[in-house]
Amino acid sequence: MDARANPEGPLPPLWHYGETEHDPISTKTLGFWLYMLSDALIFAGLFAAYAVLDQNMNMADGPTAAQVVHPVAAFWQTLAVLSSVLAYSLATVALKTGNRARVLLGIVVAIVFGGLFIALEIGDFVSLFAMGATPDRSGFLSAFFVLVASHGLHMMFGILWMLVLIPQIIRSGFNTAVVTRLLNLRLFWQFQASVWVCVYVFVYLKGTMP
């Protein structure tokens, strides 16, 4: 009924009693989704910069994309990052039953595969530096290194986050704060894997095309 229709009528309740506390986990998760959106925009900017600078004139007579990308080697990185996400997802499956040991095991495996990814990437960078392909060589290489390293930096932060969570799980179990962080980290980790898939397609696979 339209309340405006009858100003003389009996008043509906003016104050709300009872539970108005909003679910802290869903509030924080919403906030984290929004943060991920801003992170996505950062990557959108970096991908745009890469697309602009991935032109012949931006190579400055230096190495071309085909000379610096190794899709097969990077495929091992792809497997590492996807395995890490799988392990972490299994950890969150174990979270549903509250199995602390399995959650910890999943996180440790995720850290190992994430670390493997970082190690492979650093190895790749070292070999590129050795052949003279450095970020200050050309506009194209600047975009290549900054895009790939920005993703790598995100991966390192994810690993740091997992390392921080392990003692928190051991210390306080699955309380609201820890569960929120575990769920948001899953979001973060899967997002970084998706970004890597984009990097792999737009940088590594596309780079080999003539």
Partner 1 sequence: MLVHLQGPWSPLFGRLTLASIPYSNPIIIFAFVFTVIAGLAAVIPVLYFRKVGYIFREWICSVDHKKIGVMYIILGLVMMFRGFVDGMMIRTQQVTADGPTSPHFLEAQHGYLPPSHFDQIYSSHGTLMILFAATPILTGLGNIIVPLQIGARDMAFPRMNAISLWLTVMGAMLVMASLFIGDFSDAGWVGLTPLTELPYSPSVGVDYWMWAIQISSIGTTLNAINIITTIIGMRAPGMRWDRLPIFTWTTLSTSVIGLTAFPVLGVALALLGADRYLGTHFYTAGMGGNLMLYTDLFWIWGHPEVYFLVLPAFGVLSEVIPTFSEKPLFGYITMVAATFAIAGISWSVWLHHFFTMGAGPMVNTFFSVATMIVGIPTGVKVFNWIFTMYRGRITYTTPMLWAVAAILLLLVGGITGVMLANPAINYTVHNSVFVIAHFHCMVLLIVFAAFAAVIYWWPKVFGFMLDEANGKRFFWTFCLATSTVFTAMFMLGFEGETRRLDYLYDPHWMPMLIVEEVGIALYCLAVFYFFKMLYVSIRDRDKNVCGPDPWGTARTLEWLTHTPVPFYNFAVTPQVHELDELTWRRERNCETVMPDHYEPVHMPNNSMVPIIIGILAFGFGFGMVWRIWWMAGGGLAGIIAVIIITSFFPDRGYTITPEQMRELEAEHLRRRVAVSTASVIPLAEQRLV
Task: Identify which of 162, 150, 164 has the alpha carbon closest to the alpha carbon of residue 192.
Answer: 150
- Select 77 or 138, whichever has its Cβ closest to partner 1: 138
- 130 binding partner 1? (CB under 8 A): no
| Residue 54 main-chain phi, psi, to 5 deg | -90, 55
Cβ of residue 86: shortest distance to partner 1, in angstroms?
Answer: 26
What's the CA gap between 158 and 55, in Å, rounded?
32
- Select 83 or 184, whichever has its Cβ closest to partner 1: 184
- 34 binding partner 1? (CB under 8 A): yes
Cβ of residue 20: shortest distance to partner 1, in angstroms?
Answer: 5
Which value, in Å, is the radius of gyration of the alpha carbons in the chain?
23
Cβ of residue 162: shortest distance to partner 1, in angstroms?
Answer: 12
Residue from 79, 135, 205, 206 in contact with partner 1 (CB under 8 A):
135
What's the CA gap between 198 and 186, in Å, rounded?
19
Long-range CB pairs of 172-179, under 8 A, 24+ apart, other chains included: 173/100, 174/95, 174/98, 174/100, 176/24, 176/25, 179/25, 179/95
| Sign of torsion over alpha carbons 116, 62, 208, 140 | positive
Residue from 14, 101, 130, 209 in contact with partner 1 (CB under 8 A):
14
- Select 80 or 139, whichever has its Cβ closest to partner 1: 139
Cβ of residue 209: shortest distance to partner 1, in angstroms?
Answer: 20
155, 192 contact by CB (below 8 A) = yes
- Name the site residues for partner 1 (rule: CB under 8 A): 3-4, 7, 11-18, 20-22, 26-28, 30-31, 34-35, 37-39, 41-42, 44-46, 48-49, 52-53, 57-60, 62, 134-140, 142-143, 145-146, 160, 164, 167-168, 171, 177, 181
